[in-house]
Amino acid sequence: MLCTTGFTAKTAEELFGLLRNAAVKQRERQKFQSIRPIPASAHSWNYFPHQRGDILEFSLTPFSGASPHVEDRVSMRDFRKTAAVAEPEVASYLGKAECSDSLRGLFECAIHENRQGSGVYAYPTEARRSICGCHTKNLRLELYGNELRATLVLFSGEVARDLPVVDRDWLDFTDAAENRGANRAARLERFLNSQFQYKIMSCPHYFVRIGLTRPYREACWLMLDTLFPIPKADWLEEF
């Protein structure tokens, strides 16, 4: 199993804090399928000591999770790291898994804008999966209060607005940036509006994955699950 992302969640009611662990496994003809190892008693791990790119040995139940989180597999024992691959290779593997150029193609169902607030969602009875890569023409990250949120322009020309970012590395980077002196929020906002576009969009292994939260009030909300490239520590020196 190739570890592609890892998160920690507190409660099922934290709509945009429902973070997950995902991985990819190889199928025939260099195709990959996403799976999400979960503990037997929860949907997330309180402690997950592995990083993106770690190759893990594990034992999972053969049964899929409840739709649309069909990638869920209950882990029967602890993980054991056997190797690791570099960030560009991880992004390359993800590009061979589920991908879409359109909103409907992400989860094979209609995607709806929240007309009473922020975000977009799918109905859990319609979505066929809960994780998917996407090809984007543009990406914008913004701070709303203390939350990092994303707006994507897909190759289809469709726009997915105001998605919460739950990528652990990007959230850690944002936290670190906000702790560097005075006017930190303003400086971080300037970075996201300037250097960010060049650093991210020009990266040869730029890649985005979108996930669905667990059902909440009869909806599963879209969130930016994974963003490559992973932010570099030396970027903090630009603040």
pLDDT 10s digits, 200-221 = 888 999 999 999 999 998 999 9
For the record, the structure tokens of 215 come out as 């059902």
Mean pLDDT throughout 71-84?
Answer: 88
Cα–Cα distance measured from residue 219 to residue 221, given in angstroms and rounded to the nearest whole number:
6
Residue 23 · residue 37 · CB < 8 Å: yes
- Total domains, the chain: 1
Q: Could you tell me which of 233, 93, 222, 121 has the C-alpha nearest to residue 170? A: 233
Range of the domain at 184: 2-238
* pLDDT over threshold 50, residue 122: yes
Q: Could you tell me which of 191, 203, 197, 204 has the C-alpha nearest to residue 140? A: 197
Cα–Cα distance measured from residue 227 to residue 151, given in angstroms and rounded to the nearest whole number:
13
Cα–Cα distance measured from residue 162 to residue 184, given in angstroms and rounded to the nearest whole number:
22
Mean pLDDT throughout 66-94?
Answer: 91
- 71 phi/psi in degrees, rounded to 5: -80, -15
Residue 107 · residue 123 · CB < 8 Å: no
pLDDT, tens digit (0-9, with 9 covering 90-100), for 167-185: 999 999 888 877 766 666 7
Tell me, what's the pLDDT at 181?
Answer: 64
Q: Could you tell me which of 143, 237, 138, 136 has the C-alpha nearest to residue 190? A: 143
pTM value is: 0.84
Q: Is the bond preceding residue 164 a cis peptide, omega within 30 degrees?
A: no
* pLDDT over threshold 50, residue 6: no
Residue 217 · residue 170 · CB < 8 Å: no
**134-143 exposure pattern, b = at least 16 Cβ within 10 A, e = fewer:** bbbeebebee
Cα–Cα distance measured from residue 221 to residue 161, given in angstroms and rounded to the nearest whole number:
12
Cα–Cα distance measured from residue 158 to residue 195, given in angstroms and rounded to the nearest whole number:
25
CB atoms within 10 A of CB 92: 15
